[in-house]
Structure 1
Amino acid sequence: MALYKRGEVYHFDFAVDGRRYRGSTKEKILSRARMIESQLMNEAKQRRLTVQRRTQTLADFSKRFLAWVDTTRLELETKKYYKSGWKMLSMTPIACVRLGHISTDDAEALRFKHSSANANRALRTLRRMLGKATEWGLIGATPKIKLAKEQGRSEIIDNESETKLLAAAKQPLQDVLTIMLDTGMRPGEVFRMCWEDISWERRTIFIPKGKTPRSRRYVVMSERMIEALDTRRNGQLEGWVFPSDSKDGHVTTVAKAFEEARDTAGLSKEIKLYSARHTFATKVMGETGDLALVMRALGHTNAQTAMIYQHPSLERVRAIVNERPAPAPKKSGLVLAWHNPRHNDAA
């Protein structure tokens, strides 16, 4: 519900039951314009006012939204994020709800499998879709979409778990996991690796683009990575390192294979593929104490974000406390009197 001036005349813009009504009150005085608006709203509720435009369902609107996603200058990862988010939304009842009817309560009632981060992918997409619908004049206002609370990944992969995982992992998961553990690369960065971006002489991999501006970087290869990649390339000089029959031409997920390997290894479900990135950051930070170096290796621009990936062991705290010299015991007057020979003789 809103009144606004265009020139000297007040115009109305309100929605009733998901239908939007806009036009001129033909009044220059605010009080009279409000009376006209109130009358028009009553007529709209009684379905006697002509509807300017009936709002689309979220599913209908998705076609325009996805077309915008494809043509705008969004990062490739962001485009994939919104497309994946819409795929999740499309399988919920909210896809059939008209844009003007979607409320905060509707969004809070949505339920998605897996983690809170996964749910937020859909919720952020919904928020962006409704924001564009408002921007394009299809609805009067954007309802508040609250995100789920993300707990973050607290598990890292210790040496024993790493051995079990790699032993249980099939290809290409085994090589993907090895690369993530030894470089801290994101899964998507590993999936999009090309042979021409690998320098065997310098023993580095160039990442041309990624999630953040700092994602464009070089990462170093460990000895076991070099051995694994040399076996995989089989003389190739160009093309995807992890090719597949997907429309992208390369592997896009190893989630199912990771879950199977984790179950075979008998490890906690709290351990995710992304835990390999956390493990790398924790080890490098623990050995060097250099946050700037960790940020550079991970492709982070924000120190606070980089610190999320640090999981220092509490054993370091125990070691520091144990190494601290114990203070000399303080002698009390009672102890001195007890050991005083004169005091004993007097007794």
Structure 2
Amino acid sequence: MFLARFIQYIKFEKRYSPHTVSAYESDLDQFTRFLNNPGNATVAPEPIITHPDQISYHDIRNWMVELIDQKLTARSVNRKMATLRKYFKFLLQEGVITQNPTSKIRSQKIPKHLPVVVEGESLAKMLDDDKIFSDDFPGLRDKLVVEMLFGTGMRLAELLGLKDSDINDYEGTLKVLGKRNKERIIPINTELRILLGRYSELKKSENFHNNSLTLIVTNKGADAYPKLIYLIVQKYLSNISTQNKRSPHVLRHTFATSLLNNGADLNSIKELLGHANLSATQIYTHNSVERLKSIYKQAHPKA
């Protein structure tokens, strides 16, 4: 009952994305299973805990230890703890509980990793190569996917959520709905505008039965889905990169790093990426420092 109320709250009042709501449901279901059967959280036994006020700090701490023992990353553990914090904060506001058992839970320290990027110039050359992408609808759609991710730095979910009406060809901009339903405007370059025009015309000529309003669609005209975008990006990045990680987010990192290397200031990059604070954007400065070190070692006689 309480879980259902919480899910309704984040879905309709907080207006979280379907992906986020699904993640919250999964985390809370996993936690409930652990509480009712700590020895085997994959089995759903008879309920032992019937009210949230029976849940203690130690229960949550024990689940945290269980997750760590399962070799989950610190980031994954922290995300699940964030779900519990949100849930119990909601219960406290609703008067269901009188104390928040997550108040003493501390987040795991996340090791800092440099963002994985591909070489911007190689990527640009690949996109300009007419032999790489076919002239039919799938080929043009694939090229648009890679161009959009590299040319705007948008997230995967933002790309999937784009509608035809979000493109303003006259202004040369597009409207993106980011995290927490925060809208931002991103400029698009001339080549991308031309590509969008070609894609839109070809999309109309395909006469898809469902007439989806979503910008990126499948070969049959249905709304695109995450795995499709991953497969597209992996396919084309394999032409220029041998690294294992070839995801849509690599193109977002490449977008930000390219801007920084070419003189863009951090605040502008922050706005383009839709970051809530500057600290999230500052990680890209490390890549630039490493690049400068590499240039120094190659060029300086005393290096």
User: TM-score per shorter chain, which class?
Assistant: 0.5 to 0.7
1:178 aligns with 2:153: no
Map of 1:335 onto structure 2: none
Q: Residue 193 in 1 paired to residue 193 in 2?
A: no
| Distance (Å, rounded) in 2 between the aligned partners of 1:268 and 1:262 | 13
Q: Which runs of 5+ in 1 are unaligned?
A: 1-59, 327-347
Q: Any conservation in 2 of the 1:214–1:300 contact (CA below 8 Å)?
A: no
Shift in Å at residue 284 of structure 1? 0.6
Partner of 2:79: 121
- CA-atom RMSD in angstroms: 4.1
Distance 1:70 1:76, change over 3 A: closer
SS in 2 for 1:205: strand
| Cα gap change, 1:95 to 1:256, in 2 (>3 Å) | farther
TM norm structure 2: 0.67
CA pair 89-221 structure 1, distance change in 2 beyond 3 A: farther
**Number of residue pairs aligned between Structure 1 and Structure 2:** 260
Query: Normalization by structure 1: what TM-score?
Result: 0.59
Aligned to 1:274: 249
What do the CA deviations read for 1:72-103 (whole angstroms, capped 9, x no partner)?
Answer: 2x2544x7424323224424633746332333
User: What is the Cα deviation at residue 184 of structure 1?
Assistant: 0.9
Q: Decide which of 162, 182, 203 is 2:172's aligned counterpart.
A: 203
Determine which structure has the larger helix proportion and give its number: 2
Residue matched to 2:235: 261
Aligned match of 1:234: 201
How far apart, CA to CA, are the structure 1 residues paired with 2:26 and 2:2?
13
Q: 1:219 aligns with which of 165, 172, 187?
A: 187
More strand by share: 1
Q: Structure 1 residues 319 and 179 mapped into 2: Cα distance closer, same or farther (>3 Å)?
A: same
Give the conservation status (yes or no) of the 8 Å contact 1:294–1:306: yes
CA–CA distance in structure 1, aligned partners of residues 86 and 100 of structure 2: 9
Alpha-carbon displacement from aligned partner over 1:115-149 (angstroms, at most 9, x marks no partner): 65444433311221122233334344322344444
Contact 2:167–2:173, Cα closer than 8 Å, also in 1: yes
Q: CA deviation at 1:168?
A: 9.9
State the percentage of identical aligned residues: 19
**Structure 1 residues 65 and 194: CA distance shift in structure 2, 3 A:** same
* Counterpart secondary structure, 1:206: strand
Moved more, 177-186 or 127-136: 127-136
**Does the C-alpha gap of structure 1 residues 95 and 188 become closer, same or farther in structure 2, counting only changes over 3 Å?**
farther
Matched with 1:81 is 20
C-alpha contact (below 8 Å) 2:150/2:252 kept by paired residues: yes
Aligned partners of 1:278 and 1:127: how far apart in 2?
Answer: 29
Distance in structure 2 (CA, Å) of the matches to 1:264 and 1:175? 17
